[in-house]
Amino acid sequence: MGMDFSTLRTLISRYCVGEENWVDSRTIYIGHKEPPPGTEAFIQQRFPDNRIVSSKYTFWNFVPKNMFEQFRRVANFYFLIIFLVQLIIDTPTSPITSGLPLFFVITVTSIKQGYEDWLRHKADNSVNQCPVHVVQHGKVVRKQSRKLRVGDVVFMKENETFPCDLILLSTSRDDGTCFVTTASLDGESSHKTHYAVQDTKAYITEKEVDSIQATIECEQPQPDLYKFVGRINIYMDNEPVARPLGAENLLLRGATLKNTEHIYAVAIYTGMETKMALNYQSKTQKRSAVEKSMNAYLVVYLCILISKALINTLLKYVWQADSNRDEPWYNNRTDTERQRHIVIRAFTDFLAFMVLFNYIIPVSMYVTVEMQKFLGSYFIMWDDDMFDEELGERAVVNTSDLNEELGQVEYVFTDKTGTLTENNMEFIECCVDGHIYVADAICNGQVMPGATSMDMIDSSPGPGAREHEELFFRALCLCHTVQVKEEETVDGIKHGIHQGKSTSFYISSSPDEVALVEGMKRLGFTYLRLRDGHMEILNREDEIERFELLEVLTFDSVRRRMSVIVRSSTGELYLFCKGADSSIFPRVISGKVEEVRARVEHNAVEGLRTLCVAYRPLSPEQYTEVCHMLNGAKLSLHDRDKRLAEAYDAIEKDLILLGATAVEDRLQEKAADTIESLHKAGMKVWVLTGDKMETAAATCYASKLFHRNTQILELTTKRTEEQNLHDVLFDLSRTVLRQHGGMARDSFSGLSGDCTDFGLIIDGATLSAVMRPAQEDSNSGNYKEIFLEICRNCSAVLCCRMAPLQKAQIVKLIKASEEHPITLAIGDGANDVSMILEAHVGIGIMGKEGRQAVRNSDYAIPKFKHLKKILLVHGHYYYIRISELVQYFFYKNVCFIFPQFLYQFFCGFSQQPLFDTAYLTLYNISFTSLPILLYSLIEQHINVDILKKDPSLYRDIAKNSLLRWPIFIYWTLLGVYDAIVMFFGAYFLFDNTTFTSNGQLMTTNTQMMFGNWTFGTLVFTVLVFTVTFKLALDTHYWTWINHFVIWGSLVFFVVFSLLWGGIIRPFLNYQRMYYVFMQMLSSGPAWLSIILLITASLLPDVLKKVICRALWPTTTECIQTKRRCLASEPSTIFMLSQTSSRISF
């Protein structure tokens, strides 16, 4: 809503003002003070107030708006139309039959939505009315949060949550910084430092703040939490000073002020324009494969419905051509009916047939599917196996729409760091000019105080190397963005590291940095803190060295390096740079490159994460030039990122290599086992990582993604430099295809996996070359296909050096390939969000890199190993359950409607319903709904343990196998067969055309006649029993709940029929069913025929099941049978599962 308005407003202002500038940026007057005359004149823009409106309805518009919303859905609309048709024209069934279910669905939905909206109103109100302190005329005034306006100067105290997006003007801390946590925004609980505007940080009282005369120009609100560009113009002595504003000056709504007494800040985005509000809007809807099949079936059934109605209408008019049939003397039309035009009559008849057969698309199916998905998803959240003790987290379901998609996954795209690995970095070693230092006390997180010792592997270095060593350690101590968090802050006295206490620890957004800084601490150089723009280091001699921090060239995943520019106490200027080897080596001009490179490669093969460190001494002239470049880039409002990147590129050059570090990232528990299981389950696992090839490949070997006998195909820059891409691709595809042909033949003999399989390694640069759209060269257009062809034949693919967007590209590429496989992306960091959103199923891991992945995922699990259970067990179950649910629903409604269709041939196509209104209404609502719902919640065709133990079972349901057309047709034909058996069974019992037959009599005490309602009731009784028994035959897991529900719903049917036939008073006008059911039950032939017809209906299905199982068993069925055999003799597994279930019960 808010989004719509703001875009609308943007559009309007674009056309009204006619000035491009206004659209892209906004101007804010701090404290609503006009700038001094003579400066640029701005047109005052209108901004919304700070009211947050997350609710959709008001008290007044709830009913109409909610109705509108609900009937906008096609299914609801369809049922509404049916209902209206029933109201308007004379139709066979009463409007209640479709009105009641529709009313029920609509009411339940609107109550649910109304309640949710009421909660939202409550939440909105509490947020909108919470008090905020605002500086007005030099005084702090309390205001309701919703009255806050853009330009207001806000006064915030510690632990308060920001009411809107603010620009920090000044803080109570001397250095103009404040700390915030963004736990409620992205889940990162670490304290982040934000900086006040340099020129205003001195204004620390409300009077002073009120005297600031400044305007802020910034971009219009956009949802990216980590991006902000703006400029502040401060008018001091009427001379404007322009300063850049970046994300470090911006305090976001929802974040909380920490460790800072108070701050002053100015509101820039309010209400629905805050980044938080923008972020919570619109996430694309994902749709499962099952849903697509369901929609296809629906179309088929809609066609069946329409053709049925058409056929009947046509036949009706053919049959009625004889006026004695149309209007025999005993059955005249009313005059008004007679006068109606034939076309109108035919159309009405068509509609009436539609109404009669409309149950074939049951409204209850949607409700049941929704309920199944919603309730079913609780089993994921409840799963004890997916609870992680260490994190104290359990699986989270963000959308229940994709439950069954978990059983259909063909491609798994996984991130490496934090997903396959722990993302728990340990400093292993560093290498300075080829000399290796190993920290001996290796433990992460907590460091024994003072336990610093150093182990020289090499002989002690010479004096020249000594200097490099010193620089190297200082570089690692300085070149980072780590913060020091003190546990306690008592009256400003900080108990920190320098007192030798371990109460403080390092916090950073990157665990590598923490590991490095801690490693340095163990090697004798302790980073203490950043104070007043100076970084303090405790060196080996326990002396504090101070370096002035001049610039930080922050890390980004494109550059893959970061730098700092510092000035030492002696006045020398240094640029320290650390980054991936590939981004450092090209920029190095001297240093022992070869030794370091050898060590880096060695470490990478070991699976360690390596970083290279380099430095560049800067002369004062160079530094001023650098400053100039950086400021120019920072001040620009447009393309700031691009210009910054250019500036960084220009600055980080001519480096001198110091050395390299190695950090280990251990594999997650059971990662290898999980990957192996996924492989066995027929999934292809791709690792997409930003890491370098060697490291990533080592991880892949460790995690059993690549086996020792895997033939590795490389598609990397190194290779494409030698040969051109075209040849490499064709080479690879030839290798793969040749081998693959052989493999197909081999696979009959041995399934153990001895035959070679392929693993592909591709890097980001080559990938982008492959993905590049077709050029004039005719061959290059096929690269994508060749690449896909190769990938398809590889069991594992490793993509390294990936940018976040490339990850999404790969997923998209596979998604769009011709088989349209179901993809799953799993990751833990912000860089995985794009692929999580792109894949069919996105899974977030509750890792260390914040909550973004979790927030954007469909499901979140604490650890990678839980993927096995969620896919192999939950996914498998959900798929089995929902496919049965869908097929069964269509089946039971074919059984339900087809007899009615047949009956039309015997009642002169008059749309006479076969069943009573109550039966028509309640068939789907109560007689047959609960058993299938329960089935779809708790069915287990195979035990959990077996599913986990034998991942190959997953292949049985691959490719949407239970919802393919042949199976759908089988179910439909079964429904038609059952319907024919039921209808004609009853028909022959009632029929009298032959000389001898007479089933209308009943015996025992009276000899009464049966009418048409008894006929319908007989068919209906057989119908309800047959479809329920059919489900019972399909149930493989009979708990007491199943027994209760299945037998209970049959008992309910009988009891209801007895009551419905036994009550006369309140429905005096509607007595067609009076005693019909009882009379039927008191007749012997009726009982006999019910038993006979049920048996005959179920016979073919049982037969098909048994024969298929005996002759062409699937893996699942083999396992089931085997388990049965084992059950007779004591098997350990079986006994275990038995006892465990007994205990838990």
Partner 1 sequence: MMASSYTAKEEDGHITVSGPGALRSRKPENTAFKQQRLPAWQPILTAGTVLPAFFIIGLLFIPIGIGLFVTSNNIKEFEIDYTGVDASSPCYNCSQSFSWNSSRPCTCSIPFYLEQPYESNVYVYYGLSNFYQNHRRYVKSRDDSQLNGDPKSLMEPSKECEPYAFHENKPIAPCGAIANSMFNDTLELFYNDPNGTKVQILLNTTGIAWWTDKHVKFGNPGRNSPNLTAAFQGTTKPINWRRPVFDLDADEANNGFINEDFIVWMRTAALPTFRKLYRIINKKSGMVPTLPRGNYSLEVVYNYPVRSFEGRKRMILSTISWMGGKNPFLGIAYITVGSVCFFLGVVLLLIHHKCGNRNNNADISN
Q: How far is the CB of 967 from partner 1 (least distance, A)?
A: 17
Minimal distance, residue 1079 CB to partner 1, in Å: 6
**What minimum distance in Å lies between the beta carbon of 282 and partner 1?**
6
Q: Please check if 66 is assigned to a binding site.
A: no
C-alpha 1044: how far from chain center: 36
CA distance 228 to 247: 5
SS3 per residue for 126-186 = HHHCCEEEEEECCEEEEEEHHHCCCCCEEEEECCCECCCEEEEEEECCCCCEEEEEEHHHH
The count of chain residues that interact with partner 1, using the rule CB under 8 A, is 143
Identity of the residue, 249 or 1079, whose beta carbon is nearer to partner 1 in the bound complex: 1079
3-state SS class at 595 = helix
What is the C-alpha to C-alpha distance for residues 1066 and 260, in angstroms, rounded to an integer?
73
1092 touches partner 1 by CB under 8 A: yes
> Nearest distance from residue 386's CB to partner 1, in Å?
8
Q: Within its chain, how far is the Cα of 1142 from the centroid?
A: 36
Task: Tell me which residue of 954, 960, 386 sits closest to 676, measured CA to CA.
Answer: 954
Q: Tell me, rounded to whole angstroms, the distance of Cα 529 from its chain centroid.
A: 39
- Phi and psi for 726 in degrees, rounded to 5? -55, -50
Q: Using CB under 8 A, which residues numbered 1100 to 1129 contact partner 1?
A: 1102-1103, 1105-1107, 1109-1111, 1120-1122, 1124
User: Is 609 within any annotated ligand binding site?
Assistant: yes
* Cβ 839 vs Cβ 811: under 8 Å: yes
- Which range binds partner 1 by CB under 8 A, 208-216, 326-334, 795-803, 926-934? 326-334
Binding to partner 1 (CB under 8 A) within 184-213 occurs at 184
**Secondary structure class of 803 (helix, strand, coil):** coil
Residue among 778, 872, 247 nearest 556 (CA): 247
- The CA distance from 632 to 404, in Å, is 53
Binder among 1011, 1056, 1081, 1115 for partner 1 (CB under 8 A): 1011
**Positive or negative, the Cα torsion across 1090, 1096, 1098, 1099?**
positive
Residues 692-721 that bind partner 1 (CB under 8 A): none
| 840 touches partner 1 (CB under 8 A) | no
Query: Is 174 part of any known ligand binding site?
Result: no
- Least CB distance from residue 253 to partner 1, whole Å? 10
Active site residue 415: yes
**Looking at 150-158, 288-296, 537-545, 706-714, which segment touches partner 1 (CB under 8 A)?**
288-296
Tell me if residue 954 falls in helix, strand or coil: helix
**Residue 689 labelled as part of a binding site:** yes
Tell which positions 327-386 bind partner 1, by CB under 8 A. 328-335, 361, 366, 369-370, 373, 378-379, 381-385
Token pair recorded at residue 158: 């510690």
Considering beta carbons, is residue 557 or 998 the nearer one to partner 1? 998
Q: Binding to partner 1 (CB under 8 A): which residues in 858-877?
A: 877
Distance CA 1027, CA 929 (A): 11
Q: Is 579 labelled a binding residue?
A: no
Q: 417 a known binding residue? A: yes
Q: Binding residue per annotation — 828?
A: yes
Q: Do the annotations mark residue 415 as ligand-binding?
A: yes
Scanning 35-43, 276-284, 527-535, 627-635 for contacts with partner 1 by CB under 8 A, the matching segment is 276-284
Coil, strand or helix at 329:
coil
Residue 1081, interface with partner 1 (CB under 8 A)?
A: no
Please state the closest distance from residue 312 (CB atom) to partner 1, in A.
12
Smaller CB separation from partner 1, 41 or 1068:
1068
Helix orientation angle between 1012-1034 and 876-904, rounded to the nearest 10 degrees? 160
Q: Are 1095 and 1026 in contact (CB under 8 A)?
A: no
Ligand-binding annotation for 90, yes or no, is no
What are the CB-based long-range contacts (under 8 Å, 24+) for 1046-1055? 1046/931, 1048/930, 1049/926, 1049/927, 1049/928, 1049/929, 1049/930, 1049/931, 1050/1024, 1050/1025, 1052/926, 1052/927, 1053/927, 1053/1021, 1053/1024
Select from 21-29, 261-269, 390-398, 590-598 the region that touches partner 1 (CB under 8 A). 390-398
Judged by CB under 8 A, the chain residues 54 through 93 that form the site for partner 1 are 54, 56, 72-76, 78, 92
Tell me which residues in 941-960 interact with partner 1 (CB under 8 A).
943-944
CA angle 173, 179, 185 (to 5 degrees): 155
For partner 1, the closer of residues 266 and 1119 by Cβ is 1119
Cβ atoms 1033, 1046 nearer than 8 A: no
Nearer to partner 1, 64 or 1084 (CB): 1084
Q: Could you count the other beta carbons within 10 Å of the beta carbon of residue 217? A: 19
Q: What is the dihedral of CA 556, 560, 565, 570, to 10 degrees?
A: 150
Residue whose CB is less far from partner 1, 169 or 1094: 1094
Q: Tokens 């993905």 map to which residue?
A: 771
Nearer to partner 1, 222 or 912 (CB): 912
Among 172, 193, 583, 940, binds partner 1 (CB under 8 A): 940
Residue 691 counted as an annotated binding residue:
yes
Q: Which residues in 967-996 contact partner 1 (CB under 8 A)?
A: 985, 987-993, 995-996
Instruction: State the burial class of residue 344 (Cβ atoms within 10 Å of its Cβ: 0-12, 13-18, 19+).
Output: exposed
Residue list 399-458, contact with partner 1 (CB under 8 A): 399, 401
1123 labeled part of a ligand binding site: no
DSSP state at residue 1019: H
Length of the chain: 1145
DSSP tag of 474: H
Q: Contacting partner 1 (CB under 8 A), which of 295, 453, 723, 779?
A: 295
Minimum CB distance to partner 1, residue 1009 (Å): 6
DSSP string, 20-83: HHHHHEEEEEGGGPPPPTTS---PPPP---S--------TTTHHHHHHHHHHTSHHHHHHHHHH
In contact, 870 and 861? CB cutoff 8 Å:
yes
Query: What is the distance between the alpha carbons of residues 524 and 543, in angstroms, rounded to a whole number?
Result: 11
Q: Which of 997, 1048, 1059, 1133 binds partner 1 (CB under 8 A)?
A: 997
For residue 910, the SS3 value is coil
Q: Six-digit token pair at 87? A: 């109201």
| Cβ nearer to partner 1, comparing 103 with 378 | 378
Nearer to partner 1, 324 or 460 (CB): 324
- If the CB atoms of residues 853 and 1094 are measured against partner 1, the closer one turns out to be 1094
Tokens of 639: 């393309």
Tell whether residue 224 is among the known ligand binding residues.
no
Residues numbered 88-127 forming contacts with partner 1, rule: CB under 8 A: 92, 113, 120, 123, 126-127
Q: Given the rule CB under 8 A, which of 147-155, 206-214, 321-329, 771-779 is the region that contacts partner 1?
A: 321-329
Q: For residue 269, give the 3-state DSSP assignment.
A: strand
Active-site choice (117, 415, 757, 763): 415
- Find the binder of partner 1 among 1084, 1133, 1135, 1136 (CB under 8 A): 1084
513 in a labelled binding site: yes
When the beta carbons of 2 and 511 are compared against partner 1, the nearer one is 2
d(CA 783, CA 789): 10
Per CB under 8 A, the segment of 436-444, 625-633, 731-739, 1073-1081 that binds partner 1 is: 1073-1081
- Residue 56 or 792 having the CB closest to partner 1: 56
Q: Whole-angstrom Cα distance, residue 797 to residue 413?
A: 9
Binders of partner 1 in range 1025-1044 (CB under 8 A): 1033, 1036-1042
| Ranges within 896-935 binding partner 1 (CB under 8 A) | 906-908, 910-913
Non-local CB neighbours of 1075 within 8 Å, separated by 6+ positions: 1061, 1062
Query: C-beta of 311: minimal distance to partner 1 in Å?
Result: 18
Paired tokens of 154? 């806000």
Shortest gap between Cβ of 909 and partner 1 (angstroms)? 9
Hey, which residues are catalytic here? 415
Binding residues for ATP: 415-417, 513, 555, 578, 609, 689-691, 801, 807, 831-832
Binding residues for Mg(2+): 415, 417, 828, 832
